[in-house]
């Protein structure tokens, strides 16, 4: 069974200042996610699923989905603030949904095969899709508890225009992930890559430390674990009192690998990330895509 590509597209892109998911950056108005989908199809993916906000469904169908008709099967699902397990309600004053793993949960009714989760506004590169596609395609039928993530070298994932959020990873001799810590501020300071720790202090980070760019490979059993753990997350008073608390993918993966339920292989890649974390990143991203088109890596018109 061909794997599915699951794109997280429900965020507004607060630092970028608009719907960057729909921003045309290629020579014919292609979005970053168009390049991800093109690469995924080349890597053997057979279906595309997006999680979006319901309020821009019409624009999304017109501007995005229409171009894929006849190319690859597509489906939508929706992330909403009040999409909570029975018995739970939205705390007063909360306005933001519950984070990346909450978004992943929205796909449980439409994804029944191994799947890769990505951000829709990150340019991951062909090799990254080849690595995760190969891993998922090679899983035996009915496989469970065998996950993967693509580990990018942190030096290849920075923005020149501000800090970035990355999951900093460690793995064992089998290349199985042993820990992933979400660092919400990473940047180069006076030539050294650094992250801000829990005390607000800047700490150095080695150039080649693998980081998560939210490119994960899962099997459908992951949804069941996520549903159960989300209830635990919501039952913790501090997560309900903190109106910005988020149910991150690394939080879920950490639990599963630490309690021995699952393994998560860290896949190496030669790909270099780029994207539009900030509005100032846009011109450089347009230029990099044009260079790849000029070099023949991508056709002038994707779809």
Question: How far from the centroid of its chain's Cα atoms is residue 156's Cα?
Answer: 16
Is residue 16 very low, low, confident or very high in pLDDT (cuts 50, 70, 90)? very low
Q: Which residues touch 60 (CB under 8 Å, ≥6 apart)?
A: 9, 22, 50, 52, 76
Q: Is the pLDDT of residue 278 over 90?
A: no
Is residue 17 very low, low, confident or very high in pLDDT (cuts 50, 70, 90)? very low
8 Å CB contact between 75 and 13: no
Q: Which residues touch 240 (CB under 8 Å, ≥6 apart)?
A: 91, 234
Is residue 19 very low, low, confident or very high in pLDDT (cuts 50, 70, 90)? low
Q: Cα–Cα distance between 202 and 208 in angstroms, integer?
A: 18
Q: Is the pLDDT of residue 198 over 80?
A: yes
Q: Cα–Cα distance between 15 and 11 in angstroms, integer?
A: 11
pTM: 0.89
Name which of 14-28, 43-57, 178-192, 271-285 the model is least confident about: 14-28
Q: Is the pLDDT of residue 11 over 80?
A: no
């Amino acid at each position: 069974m061909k794997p599915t590509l699951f794109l997280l597209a429900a965020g507004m892109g607060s630092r970028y200042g608009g719907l960057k998911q729909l921003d045309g950056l290629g020579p014919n108005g292609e979005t970053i996610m168009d390049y991800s989908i093109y690469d995924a199809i080349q890597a053997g993916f057979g279906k595309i699923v997006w999680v979006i906000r319901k309020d821009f469904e019409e624009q999304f169908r017109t501007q995005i989905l229409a171009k894929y008709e006849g190319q690859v099967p597509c489906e939508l699902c929706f992330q909403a603030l009040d999409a909570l397990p029975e018995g739970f309600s939205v705390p007063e004053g909360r306005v933001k949904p519950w984070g990346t793993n909450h978004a992943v949960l929205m796909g449980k009714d439409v994804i029944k095969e191994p799947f890769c989760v990505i951000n829709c506004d990150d340019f991951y590169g062909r090799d990254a899709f080849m690595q995760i596609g190969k891993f998922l395609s090679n899983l035996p039928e009915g496989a469970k508890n065998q996950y993967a993530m693509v580990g990018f070298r942190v030096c290849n994932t920075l923005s020149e225009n501000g800090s970035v959020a990355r999951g900093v990873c460690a793995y064992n001799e089998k290349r199985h992930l042993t820990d992933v810590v979400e660092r919400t501020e990473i940047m180069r300071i006076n030539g050294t890559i650094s992250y801000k720790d829990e005390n607000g202090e800047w700490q150095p980070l080695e150039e080649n430390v693998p980081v998560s760019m939210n490119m994960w490979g899962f099997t459908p059993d992951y949804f069941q674990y996520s549903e159960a753990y989300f209830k635990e997350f919501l039952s913790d008073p501090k997560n309900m009192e903190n109106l910005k608390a988020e149910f991150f993918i690394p939080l879920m993966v950490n639990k599963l690998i630490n309690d021995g339920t699952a393994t998560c292989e860290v896949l190496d890649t030669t790909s270099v990330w780029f994207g539009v974390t900030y509005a100032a990143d846009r011109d450089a991203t347009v230029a990099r895509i044009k260079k790849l088109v000029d070099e023949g890596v991508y056709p002038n018109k994707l779809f």
